[in-house]
Amino acid sequence: MKIAYILNTYPQPSHSFIRREVQALERQGVLVLRLAMRSSDMPLVDPGDKEEAARTTYVLKLGAARLLFGLLAEATHAPRCIWRAVWLALKLARGSDRGVLRHLVYLAEAAQVKRRCFAEGVDHMHAHFGTNATAVVMLVQAMGGPGYSFTTHGPEEFDAPSALSLGEKVNRAAFSVAISSFGRSQLSRWARFGHWDRIKVVHCGIEPARFENPVAVPEGSLRLVSIGRFVEQKGQMILVQAMADLVKDLPDIHLSLIGDGEMRADLEAAISARGLQNNITLTGWLSEADVKTELAAAHALVLPSFAEGLPMVVMEAMAAARPVITTFVAGTPELVLPGKTGWLVPAGDYGAVVDAVKQLAATPHDAVVKMGQAGRDRVLQRHDSEQEAAKLAALFQKAVAENRR
């Protein structure tokens, strides 16, 4: 069985979960063709990301002329299929804020993806995120290409379901995947009731071997780590506000902000304005090995997100036997158990973040260790990458078998 993974931008530093999923599928004997529209504009730090980039074919690197020629060739070869795909592209464009021209570009991308899938003997296509990558695979299918499925993560897809024609994508798919029960509920809002049974939950996975023998929770001054893109929804600015209060009672507290993004300058200015340069470090993007080192040096992960799917960094911190302080959003409460594996606070409430950190600081060391171990046990049980890949492989196999009937 050969599956084409269709992605908009791949690999990306913040999307290592896709890489782990692909590699877990390959370990189980599934052949995976990697097709992305474009490469990342962020520097790739992790060696695993660099290896994946070398194995990925980038559609837009062909250039506009070759994409247009491919579309015209497809129109000559299969005119009925092309007109069906054109009609679908126009339908998608009507509900979108991206306009007709962008969707005609998707059509040209789809023609190239279809050609590559046929040349490589692809049995099924799978996209990640219910955005333009899923639009492309849906157009490929309309052109007579293989069937498709896709994984939604949130929050972006759930912010604009109508503009993304999310219901249409679910209804036409062999199956769709949510990474949490919350995600499945959101897809069910837009899909036909008769298609609800084709919405499956497959968790993002971690590789337990990467977290064998986690380093013991350190003693001493409180060290926190936060990991994610520097964007509004991740809530890092809430952490800066919280730290300004926390240093009054915990002058030696330290926070490492791992990541980068459009809000970096704003965060730097806010840190400077509050005199927190000695208490907060912005590390930039780090390799997986360096992230692991940062987690080992920390007492807990803190992630005050306003919107999420189900954060991989929460899973990784729990696998590293670290308690988690995060927010009551999306699928997070399905994993983090307040008082047992960490703290859940209302999104946007920096005072609640302050209180949770103070509770962590006042918790005896052995209780913090016990909380971290409980989180580790829970995440290893629910998010083993091999187990989740096996679920996905079984869904692919069923879809391929049904498509051949």
Which of helix, strand or coil describes residue 405?
coil
Residues 55 and 106 in one domain: yes
Which residues lie below 8 Å from residue 196, measured CB to CB, with a gap of 6+? 188
Domain range for 110 is 2-205+384-403
Contact status, residue 325 vs residue 356, Cβ threshold 8 Å = yes
Helices (H), 96-235: 99-120, 132-142, 156-159, 166-172, 181-190
Q: Torsion angle of alpha carbons 23, 26, 32, 35, nearest 10°?
A: 10
> Do 143 and 254 lie in a common domain?
no
Omega of the bond prior to 11 within 30 degrees of 0, cis?
Answer: yes
The number of distinct structural domains making up the chain is 2
What's the one-letter identity of residue 198? R
Classified as helix, coil or strand, 401 is helix
Is the same domain home to 166 and 239?
Answer: no
DSSP 217: P
| Statement to judge: residues 162 and 231 lie in one domain | no
Judge if 154 and 121 occupy the same domain.
yes
375 and 285, same structural domain? yes
DSSP 259: B
Q: 53: which 2 tokens?
A: 């980039």
Task: Please give the chain's pLDDT, 405 residues, in tens.
Answer: 999 999 999 998 878 899 999 999 999 999 999 999 999 888 888 888 999 999 999 999 999 899 989 888 888 888 888 899 999 999 999 988 888 999 999 999 999 999 999 999 999 999 999 999 999 999 999 999 999 999 999 898 999 999 999 999 999 999 999 999 999 999 999 999 999 999 999 999 999 988 999 999 999 999 999 999 999 999 999 999 999 999 999 999 999 999 999 999 999 999 999 999 999 999 999 988 899 999 999 999 999 999 998 999 999 999 999 999 999 999 999 999 999 999 999 999 999 999 999 999 999 999 999 999 999 999 999 999 999 999 999 999 999 999 887
Query: What gap in Å lies between CA 323 and CA 92, rounded to an integer?
Result: 43
- Both 393 and 283 in one domain: the answer is no
* DSSP state, residue 205: -
Beta bridge mates, 28: none
pTM of the model: 0.90
**Which domain CATH number covers 395?**
3.40.50.2000
Same domain, 191 and 226: no
> Is 181 in the same domain as 258?
no
Residues 339 and 246 in one domain: yes
- Classify 267 as helix, strand or coil: helix
Amino acid at 226: S
Partners of residue 294 on adjacent β-strands? none
Verify that 83 and 168 share a domain, yes or no.
Answer: yes
